[in-house]
Each structure stands twice: as C-alpha cells, then as structure tokens.
Amino acid sequence: MEMTSSQYISTRGGIEPVNFADAVMMGLATDGGLLVPARIPKVSQATLEVWKTLSYPELALEVMKPFVGDAIPADELKALVDASYATFDTKEVVPVKPMGDSGLFVAELYHGPTLAFKDVALQFLGNLFAAILKRRGGRLNILGATSGDTGSAAIHGVRGKDGIEIFIMYPEGRVSPLQERQMATVPDPNVHCIAIEGTFDDGQRVLKEIFNDLPFKSSMHLGAVNSVNWARILAQVVYYFWGSFRVQEALGKEIPLQVCVPTGNFGDIFAGYVAQKMGAPVKRLLLATNENDILSRFFNTGVYTRGDVHPTLSPSMDIQVASNFERYLYYRVGEDAAKVKALMEAFKQGTPICLEGQDTDFAAGRGDTAMTLATIKKYWEFYQVLLDPHGAVGVAVAEANPLEGTATLCLETAHPGKFPAAIGQALGDESLATHPALEALKELPLRKTILKPELPVIEAFMTQEVKA
C-alpha cells in the first residue's frame, strides 16, 4: 500500500509511519532522525492558477491540507490557520515589494508579534500544540535552542497556554540585547529562559542529546519548537508559493523565480525545496551564509564539514551544524535512510560528509561583515529600503549571483529595529532602527537562568521547574 503525504517517516528509517498530529508531538524522531512526509504531493498547473487568487490564510490552508490529512478536521485546521495569521500587523501577512529599481524583490517576513520570520511558523505551531492537547489531554514541555529569533517567536506562540511549559536555551552574550529582551522579559510563569555558557551549536547539541534520552523525553512529555519539528517547515512552505505569485503579479508575466534565503540552520531554505518539489515556480534556491559558511561551502564543494563559530552582525546565522541539513541529505541520497544514518553517525564522530555531483536546484554564496554593512548602506541611500543584517547578507549574495531568465526574490527575515547596533555601524545612526514594540522592552527586568550546556544540568533544571 502506497504511503501518503500525511504520513511521516524518519530520515534514519527507524520508526513506523505516524500521522501529522503524532509527528508534531514527536518533534525529533525517536530514532534520532528527522521526520519527513512519506511522499511530497505534486500540485497541478490548474491548482496553481487557483492558488494565485487566494489570500495568505486561504493559501496556507490549501498548502497544508495534503500534509495534515484527516489528523485534524478541515474546519478546525482553517480556524487554527486564521487565528495564527490574525496576529500579524498587515492583512497581507507577508508583503512582497520591489526594492526600488534594483531589479530585486523583497518578502517582508517580519510582521508577526516578535518581528521575525519565525512567527510565520510558530504562531501556527503554538495553536496547533494547544489544539492537539485539548483533544488528547495531558501536558507538554517544550524544549528549544535558539540563535536569536526562534526563542522569542516560540515563547510568544505558547505563552500563557494551558498545559504547556516552554524552556528556551540561547547562548549567553551571543544574541542581540533586543533579541534577549524579547525572550527573557516575558512574565508568564510557563516561560523559562536558559542562557547557556557556550554557542548556539552547544545548545543544539544538548537539545538533541535530551531528545535522544528516550526515558526522559517520555516522562517529561517533551515537544520541539525548533525547525526539527515538521510543522515549522510546513508553515514556511507557504510563503514560497505566495512570494512567487506576488512577484509574477507585479511583473505581469509567468516568470520563474530565484529565491535568495539567508540561512544558518537550513530550515527556511528546506521549506523552499519542498515548495519547489510541489511545483512552485522556483527555478533555483540561492543560499546565503555569513562567515559561518558550512552550508555555502557544501553547495560549492560537496563537502560538509564543521568549523569554528564566528560571532557576526547576523547572529541568527552564527551556526556551524545545520539541524535541517539531514532532511535535505535524505533526498539528496535518493531517500536511502540507511545511508543517511551512516553519514550522520560518522559526521557526529568528526568525519566530513562528501557528496559527488552538483544539485542544480541550489546555488550558494557568502556575505561577510563588510558586504553586509555595504549592502545596508547602499539600499538605504539609493532605494530607501532599510535591511536588517540577515536580509543584507541575502541581498549581497543575490546581487553577486543573478540567474538569467528569472526574477530574484530576497527573504527579509527580521525587522531592522531588532539590530540597532548593526544599523548604526552601517549608517552612523542607530535611531533609524526602531519599533515601538521593541522600545517598550528596554526597561523591563530580565528573567533568565545561566547554565552549562550539559545534559544532566539542563534535565535537572527542567525537572525542578516542572515540579514547581
């Protein structure tokens, strides 16, 4: 019997297929792999024509339906989607605009409650968790690791929700002050912020260790909000269709797109890969990294090998081990779960992953600090477009990698107001980077606990807080 897009399997092949609701609650697969749909559905041209006419929430519902199946009734799914995007400050949810007369377009992914693209997925995931718990009963303890924006978006997705506690680890001193304030000033008692003594990669490592401690995971009813959770990826697939349609509409022609994605953890761009496989008019995905360039090096050399983490102006991308890379690897090696398992286990022991051949669906480039600052300055002075440092990395790489016969859409992943120091460095005036919601945080007290990124330390803290 052929499996469907609403059934989920592990990239390492060690679990029986599960439905969408079980996949959401499982987070990381119990065999240490990541969950992927058993089949990615293909969308017909006739369906794409209908989708072009839909509002953002209507499009999200249609994109999600085949992946959800009967795990959630259609009317309930619609209510979840509508509630999730009602929190955004614009009816469009994701405005798509030309960047002056530069020839590039930008998708503004920062109109949610925490002013970052993570809200697009985490407002939905928070409501999804609450809905599944309401039906099944029980409690959920969420554990996440963040390099900046995921933590605040996750917290704002579940703060105050019954039956849910959330624990977010972030690297002490390595997120921007405003990013920390968006997390550690939230007063709800179900929110627990853990500032770890180390890098984001240390947080991601201990997170995977804890999820692989199956007795602890089971007894604590652990759930994941990081992009290891398939629902995160699914929600992000939507804006690749939406963005493509809006650019075509602006240009008045059926032109294919190159989409440039600044990324560190590979979740955002993997969503684009899924959209492309479904039939979105995306000819090429252009991956942009900062100095932490494990991913751009891989797509240019075929070798995936970790390096040291370098602090930069775009801290959400200061990552050397991209947790979603394993999902891409699964498709790149022909959906051979045994091969994925062997490659990932060897990589954990320090062996680089080396793949032959070029994937023409991708190109990649690196935007360093000098390029980031120059791009912020250029786009403000020439086009009156204020880019955050992550978006600027993407635009710098997009300028260097045009693709003939396409239009290029750049994803702007955070509001520049979250990074006043970087804007000030580029333009000589921090006051250009403001937002009322961020200004309101500056006088609030921080609620955080500083801990070592070690499995027994984090597990003991979580156990103590849950009992309390």
118 is catalytic: yes
> Structure tokens of 233?
């990826």
7-10/35-37 β-pairing: antiparallel
What contacts 39, CB < 8 A, 6 or more positions away? 2, 3, 4, 5, 7
CA angle 91, 97, 99 (to 5 degrees): 150
DSSP run (H or E) holding 156:
helix 149-158
Q: Are strands 222-224 and 140-145 parallel, antiparallel or unpaired?
A: parallel
Which residues are registered as beta bridge partners of 196?
A: 171, 451
DSSP single-letter state for residue 446: P
The rounded distance, in Å, linking the Cα atoms of 391 and 397 is 10
The overall longest dimension of the chain from CA atoms, in Å, is 63
Spatial distance between the Cα atoms of 168 and 179, rounded to a whole number of angstroms: 13
- Nearest-angstrom CA–CA distance, 373 and 426: 5
CA distance 223 to 272: 24
β-sheet with 362-366: strand ranges across: 96-98, 104-108, 407-412, 257-262, 282-289, 362-366
User: For residue 449, what is the enclosing H or E element?
Assistant: strand 449-451
Distance CA 237, CA 177 (A): 30
Q: Output the DSSP codes for 325-340.
A: HHHHHHHHTTS-HHHH
> Which one of 118, 217, 341, 378 is the catalytic residue?
118
Which three-class secondary structure state does DSSP give residue 259?
strand
Q: How far is 367 from 358, CA to CA, in rounded Å? A: 21
159 contacts 185 by C-beta, under 8 angstroms: no
Give, as one character, the DSSP assignment of residue 414.
B
| Catalytic residue positions, numbered | 118
